Amino acid sequence: MGTDYLIDTNVIIGYLDNKIPAMGMKFLSAVVDETPAISVISKIELLRFDTAQDIIKVLTDFVEHSDIYPLDNAVVDTTIRIGRGNKIKLPDALIAATCIVYDLTLLTRNVDDFKGLAHLKVINPWSLMDTE
In a domain, 90, yes or no: yes
Domain residues for 94? 2-127
Q: Which residues pair with 122 in a beta bridge?
A: 106
Query: What share of the chain in percent tops pLDDT 70?
Result: 95
pTM of the complete model? 0.92
Number of independent structural domains in the chain: 1
Helices 40-47, 9-16: crossing angle, 10 deg rounding: 50
CB 3, CB 67: distance < 8 Å: yes
CB 123 within 8 A of CB 7: no
- For residues 131 and 23, give the distance between their C-alpha atoms in angstroms, rounded to a whole number: 9
Spatial separation of the C-alpha atoms in residues 105 and 119, rounded to whole Å: 10
For position 116, what pLDDT does the model report? 86
Divide the 132 residues of the chain into consecutive groups of 10 and give the mean pLDDT of each group.
Answer: 82 95 95 94 94 92 96 97 92 96 96 90 90 50
- pLDDT tens by residue, 53-82: 999 999 999 999 999 999 999 999 999 999
CATH of the domain at 24: 3.40.50.1010
Quote the CA–CA distance of 28 and 20 in Å, as a whole number: 9
Q: Is 53 a domain residue? A: yes
The pLDDT of residue 130 is 61
